[in-house]
């Protein structure tokens, strides 16, 4: 795109980024650890209102929105999946002095927990803080190691009996982090992994609203990815897509992370390559990006597990699959950081990819 065209499109792009930031801010502000995503799903569906033809929630809790294709049936089925669950904590014991012993839901780095503000989802939302033994009274060996789970607790400011009236074993706990607008188009907050991916679904649907496409597009906000890609497993089985694309986050460039293990922020989404990715879909995504001058990066993904792409690929008799990664800094913390332009580029790329899908392309995927 030439400079003059870029300048003419600038007001529209700014408006889109503002709307994307609002949508993303709303969904990352809602609590929804794995297995408790229903409130998040409601916020996502409301935010996508007007962009789809049909919406439903399946038995496991996945939100599935469908935008139908035009023309004569049968239509190719394209599934886009991004998980909406978040990591968090669960109450395992209420001590007599009122502190709550906890364990993890999903993969949490214990090093980030001491001093964090949290919300305990008991009979009502209760503010709390994560406490641990002060360094002044630790043994020398303790100071050199991460705090053990048994030495961590959540303090809500109540004694044991008072705490038990409002909290019970099994209640969930989430980070009490509000969205942070950083400089430029950078935004930080909890649950960007992977509600930034849900933001890509939103951007894709918004782009498709003004496009003609033959494929039926199923956008799925999946559940329980952080505890075993469960939502993607069941939703793929029900949809049986011809093409499946997972959108997740990748390691964005940051201090202390080697360049070869990261993808650059604000340089576009990563198009993954590896065992879980069908070569023809990978090449088509790169081709579309090149044709439209959408900035993208190739993201080596040698390990097939860990994202919804793995579950999609091995569903039923096998699904041709791809993986798009949004660069993200500080993964699995309360301040996960993304660049909104990467989300916009990913959504636009997927929409342009979808409008180019035809019967010939789908049939070609059956042969490597």
DSSP of 61-94 = --EEEEEPPPSSSPPPEEEEEEE--B-EEEEEEE
Instruction: Name the CA dihedral angle for 161, 116, 34, 81, rounded to a multiple of 10 degrees.
Output: 160
DSSP of 298-329 = EEE-----SSHHHHHHTSTT---EEEEEEEEB
225 in catalytic set? yes
What is the C-alpha separation between 83 and 106, in angstroms, rounded? 13
Sign of the CA dihedral running 91, 311, 303, 247 = negative
Q: Do strands 172-175 and 216-222 pair parallel, antiparallel, or not at all (unpaired)?
A: unpaired
Give the DSSP H/E element, type plus range, for residue 162: helix 160-166
Half-sphere exposure of 127 (CA within 13 A, CB side): 4
Token reading at 364:
């070609």
Q: Out of 30, 225, 336, 352, which one is annotated catalytic? A: 225
- Give the distance, in angstroms, between the CA of residue 188 and the centroid of all CA atoms in the same chain: 13
Count of helices and strands (H, E) across the chain: 10, 17
| Other CB atoms within 10 A of residue 31 CB | 20
CB 102 within 8 A of CB 91: yes
What is the C-alpha separation between 238 and 16, in angstroms, rounded? 33
Q: Which strands sit side by side in the sheet containing 270-273, from one edge to the other?
A: 54-57, 63-67, 216-222, 77-83, 243-251, 321-328, 270-273, 297-300
Q: Which residues are catalytic?
A: 225
């Amino acid at each position: 795109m030439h400079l003059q065209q870029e300048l003419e499109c600038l007001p529209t792009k700014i408006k889109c980024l503002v709307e994307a930031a609002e949508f993303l801010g709303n969904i990352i502000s809602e609590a929804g650890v794995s297995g408790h995503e229903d409130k998040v799903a409601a916020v996502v569906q409301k935010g996508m209102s007007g962009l789809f033809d049909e919406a439903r929630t399946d038995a496991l809790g996945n939100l599935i929105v469908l935008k139908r294709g035009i023309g004569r049936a049968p239509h190719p089925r394209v599934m886009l999946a991004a998980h909406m669950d978040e990591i968090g904590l669960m109450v395992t014991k209420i001590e007599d002095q009122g502190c709550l012993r906890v364990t993890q839901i999903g993969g949490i780095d214990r090093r980030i927990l001491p001093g964090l503000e949290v919300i305990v989802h008991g009979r009502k939302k209760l503010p709390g803080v994560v406490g641990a033994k002060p360094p002044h009274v630790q043994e020398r060996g303790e100071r050199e190691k991460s705090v053990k789970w048994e030495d961590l607790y959540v303090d809500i400011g109540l004694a044991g009996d008072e705490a038990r009236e409002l909290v019970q074993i099994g209640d969930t706990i989430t980070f009490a982090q509000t969205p942070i607008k950083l400089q430029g188009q950078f935004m930080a907050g909890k649950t960007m992994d992977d509600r930034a991916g849900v933001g890509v679904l939103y951007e894709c649907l918004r782009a498709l609203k003004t496009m003609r496409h033959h494929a039926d597009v199923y956008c799925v906000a999946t559940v329980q990815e952080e505890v075993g890609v469960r939502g993607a497993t069941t939703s793929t089985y029900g949809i049986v897509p011809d093409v499946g694309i997972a959108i997740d986050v990748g390691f964005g460039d940051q201090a202390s992370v080697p360049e070869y293990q990261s993808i650059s922020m604000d340089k576009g989404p990563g198009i993954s390559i590896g065992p879980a990715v069908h070569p023809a879909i990978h090449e088509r995504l790169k081709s579309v990006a090149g044709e439209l001058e959408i900035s993208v990066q190739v993201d080596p993904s040698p390990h097939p597990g860990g994202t919804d792409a793995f579950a999609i690929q091995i569903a039923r008799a096998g699904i041709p699959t791809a993986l798009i990664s949004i660069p993200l800094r500080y993964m699995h913390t309360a301040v996960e950081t993304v660049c909104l332009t990467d989300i916009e580029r990913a959504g636009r790329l997927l929409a342009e990819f979808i409008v180019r899908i035809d019967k010939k392309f789908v049939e070609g995927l059956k042969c490597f």
